[in-house]
Chains A and B, each alone.
Chain A
């Protein structure tokens, strides 16, 4: 009997068992509490509170300028690098307040990796150097360890088989989709707890997009993933939870299936069905 058939038979056997009484609440990696962010006088994020579930994909959707990118950048303190930015409220990562004075932003960014819209391998570095640069910057010099981590990270980013014989070539010699996976490998090399992705597929063709989506699906067993996307179908395919932002406010947040079949808020419905504005 084929494995798929065995699975079906097991399901038939189990179907006589009583249903479980309710799902336990998922563990959460981030607890965002009353978060507001200002760029000078402009309030880009307005009093947002939400919990980000562990080992799940959370998609952030909303029209341009609604605060999606601002929100996920707050999850690894990237606003520290932007002058005149002010952050209020709390972002707890596994209970640690990222904005308390006692936390080193460099450590935050090691725990929370980020992949951007446009792939950005370091142009003067080889493929191999690009992947392990984070480890080198952290003072790791053990070549055996670096080689192991290099292979592991590229394997996890589903790029190893394509580049294993070309590790000495420049990172920029790869295709757009491969470069994006290289950036994911670079983010994974420092073994973060969370992977933030800001429109990771928006510059890619459908095949490269499918590979990244498949990768996201596989990575969520090990990482908590938060991704910004403008693509409603992609949000529906890859995410477990969806948050809809509008004008800096979190309008609706819930399981993706619920948001995309029966959103509670009229604004969410109008946005996802394309009736906005």
Chain B
């Protein structure tokens, strides 16, 4: 639901600017991850370099969002949904920055892999990439559209990603034993698998923050609470 305008126009402007910076950061993080993965799959060092270069702008945006969020808290002392949106935006920026870090890590590993003959085992990474990317896009969508159901549905999807990471790691370890000459290459793929698994963790955090922003509901650690 779109809230009616705030009596203080400057407050609306400050909230809109904060939100736009979060969206910009999400767009850049997605592009960076996409470039890193294409750099791996298409063996394109230039794309890897772009992905790594994106990180600086994303880091700047993270600092800007935190600065703007603190300024809004100080100047307007927001409450209710306004407060939740500001808190969620600041938490989102931290997770988006880490997604971009994972993209940078993947790009660096991809560049190393590209220096050697291609490994067919790169195919093991594709389902992880699809799962992590769709979780990430949906989590940002859940925040943008304040879609509680979409946000809630992302959390269990992380388990599938964890499983895919375990399967890929196991197969890569087997390959290392069978073909020790390619040890470095397999290790790099294992790290990339691990980085994508971390992207899923950040997407889960973003989804949880999206649900909090939209519905004031804390859905974190519910599995742990249920088993305690």
Contacts and interface: CB of A to CB of B under 8 A. Distances in A.
A273 B84 contact: no
A260 B8 contact: no
Contacts of B7: 274-277
B127 interface: no
Given A261-B216, A262-B216, A272 B11 contact: no
B216 A275 contact: no
Most A Cβ at <10 Å: residue of B6, B80, B81, B216? B80
B77 A273 contact: no
Contacts of B8: 274
B87 to A, nearest CB: 10
A12 to B, nearest CB: 17
A275 B78 CA distance: 12
Nearest to B76: A274
Interface SS, A side: helix
Interface in A248-276: 260-263, 268-270, 272-276
B75 interface: no
A190 B82 CA distance: 43
B177 interface: no
A170 interface: no
Interface string A50-77: 0000000000000000000000000000
B80 A260 contact: yes
B77 A233 contact: yes
B77 A262 contact: no
A273 B81 CA distance: 8
A123 B8 CA distance: 41
Given A270-B4, A273-B6, A275-B5, A261 B80 contact: yes
A175 to B, nearest CB: 27
Contacts of A48: none
Given A275-B5, A275-B6, A263 B80 contact: yes
A260 B79 contact: yes
Nearest to B78: A273
Contact of A275 (B4, B77, B84, B215): B4
A261 B215 CA distance: 10
A263 B80 CA distance: 7
B219 interface: no
B80 to A, nearest CB: 5
B200 to A, nearest CB: 28
Given A273-B6, A274-B7, 19 more contacts: A232-B77, A260-B80, A261-B79, A261-B84, A261-B216, A262-B80, A262-B216, A268-B80, A269-B80, A269-B81, A272-B79, A273-B78, A273-B79, A273-B81, A273-B82, A274-B8, A274-B11, A275-B3, A275-B6
Interface of A: 232-233, 236, 260-263, 268-270, 272-277
21 contacts: A232-B77, A232-B79, A236-B79, A260-B80, A261-B79, A262-B84, A262-B215, A269-B80, A270-B3, A270-B4, A272-B79, A272-B80, A273-B79, A273-B81, A273-B82, A274-B7, A274-B8, A275-B5, A275-B6, A276-B7, A277-B7
Interface of B: 3-8, 11, 77-84, 215-216
